[in-house]
Amino acid sequence: MQNFSPQAPALPALSDFEVSDNAGRTLWLAAAVAAICGGLYGYDTGIISGALLLITQDFHLGSLYQELVASAILAGAVVGAVGTGWLSERYGRRASVMIVTAVFVTGALACAAAPDVGMLIAARVYLGLGVGGSTQVVPMYISELAPAARRGKLVTLFNVAIGIGIFLANIIGFSARDAWGWRPMIAIAALPAAFVFVSMFFLPKSPRWTAENEGLDSAIAQLTRVRTSRKEIRKEIRKIQEASDNVADENRGWRGLRQPWVRPALVAALGVAFFTQCGGLEMMIYYAPTFLSDAGFGHSSALLASLGVSVVYLVMTMLGSAIVDHVGRRRLMLIMGPGSVVSLLGLGLMFALHPDKGSVGSWMIIVFLLMFMMFNSGGIQVVGWLLGAEMFPLSMRGTATSLHAATLWGSDLLVTSTALTLVNLISLGGTMWFYAGVNLASVVFIFFLVPETRGASLEDIETALHEGRFRPTRGHTAIVEA
């Protein structure tokens, strides 16, 4: 990697570079196209709930193999999240997005063509490599392209795309399952993945990775494609150069993550990642039809309620994405978190009372369920993926985002593999109260340990870490203002 010395030459003359008239559109296009990977993640993880019944009939599966088919993608995702970190550092963010989408294409087709359950499970693990890899590299790629003022909105396009993918999976699973069959339902995901793969050839590289690996001239060339003024480019490239000056070997990769000055970012980002997945939302997405059926709702009503869950998830992630740069990351989580706690307490109470089918109490189950989805999806779910992409220094960002994504996927696997066991141990109502406690713990954690990063450039955040200013403030002001 290129290291810039304190006596590094002055910046290249920006007059030698032409700023694109379409810079604003190119920035949005790059973010939107890369974010489609989030839609693939949402679709590929969500479609199995609608396809599993048909797969079970075709392959005569018992409950064990049903669980293996459903969870195989999560096992692959943990490995993919860790492995893509090395790829993104070695070959760049854009190239890694292309590798991930190639896995999406081949993985979806392999799943659809699987001749037996063993091959299907293996193909789902392989597809999981792409799912996990996308959560590592796509938010980071968008974060390194985006200006500070719009970074939150652009990075959280990934979350919006996840919601769209889950929604489409529910629509197809509910309406087209019998007409299509499970193989086309799974194979169709290869089409948008192929579109992203081809499109990435024409989109800019990360200017920050380019500065580290190909020099400032190349970084400026990338910035001219996504910035509208030379003044903006000059200021940003100078910050990138200053942040890259004399980066010691001990501040790179896994060694860098062990440095004491990085620890506050590591605790904040990984803690929020854990609470993002362990707060109960994943259980609602995967098991809502199951526990609603157990509560007395008919199968069709339970599936429609599950569709409602995906609609609320999509709407609230879109709203959260629109306001996160104005409200702030920390403040948004602290506003929405208590609502998640109250909703789960109410949901647990309704389950504990066992209301009669069709009674007011039974419909309050739906109300509290959708309330929880509203508060959780519009708060910590929006921010959880964003923080990992913006909190870590450039010299270790690829490694750190791998660890962040692996924490997200490991927590997801923990929830999905223990949810039904937890219900059997402490009842459905008790499980909701348990998740209410987890959400309360997340609010306390965020209040004391997660600072506000709204409006700060990636280099400002790195400077705050070096100077020991990476901490919450009483007025929830951004660390750049400290």
**Chunked mean pLDDT (size 10), the chain, 482 residues:** 48 64 90 96 84 86 82 90 91 96 97 95 96 94 92 93 90 77 93 97 94 88 88 85 68 80 94 94 77 70 77 93 94 97 96 79 88 96 91 87 91 83 90 96 96 89 88 69 46
CATH 1.20.1250.20 fits 247-482, yes or no: yes
Q: What whole-number distance in Å separates Cα of residue 469 and Cα of residue 482? A: 7
Per-residue CA distances from 199 to 17, 94, 96, 187 (Å): 24, 11, 13, 20
Phi, psi dihedral angles at 225 (to 5 degrees)? -85, -20
- Dihedral sign of CA atoms 38, 41, 45, 47 in order: positive
Look at the block and give the residue holding tokens 């200017």. Answer: 207
Specify the DSSP class assigned to residue 474.
T
Same fold, 19-203 and 247-482: yes
How many CA within 13 A on the CB side of residue 397?
Answer: 30
Output phi, psi for 227, to 5 deg: -125, 150
- Residue 454: CB partners within 8 Å, gap ≥ 6? 152, 324, 325, 327, 328, 329, 330, 478
Report d(CA 84, CA 103) in Å as an integer.
12
CATH code at 19-203: 1.20.1250.20
In 388-399, which positions are buried (b, 16+ CB within 10 angstroms) versus exposed (e)?
bbbbbbbbbbbb
pLDDT score recorded for residue 478: 63
Residue 7 class from Cβ within 10 Å (0-12 exposed, 13-18 middle, 19+ buried)? Answer: exposed
Question: In Å, how far are 88, 304, 366 from 309, measured between CA atoms?
Answer: 34, 9, 9
Where along the chain do its domains lie?
19-203, 247-482
This prediction's pTM: 0.85
Cβ neighbour number for residue 444 with a 10 Å cutoff: 10
Cα separation, 73 vs 165, whole angstroms: 16
pLDDT for position 246: 59
Ramachandran bin of 114, using left for φ above 0, alpha for ψ from -120 to 50, beta for the remaining angles: beta
For Cα atoms 209, 229, 322, give the angle at the middle one, nearest 5 degrees: 75
Determine the pLDDT at residue 15.
Answer: 58
Q: What is the pLDDT of residue 3?
A: 47
The pLDDT assigned to 480 comes to 53
Question: What does the DSSP 8-state code read for residue 452?
Answer: B
pLDDT of residue 265: 94
Count of positions (residues) in the chain: 482
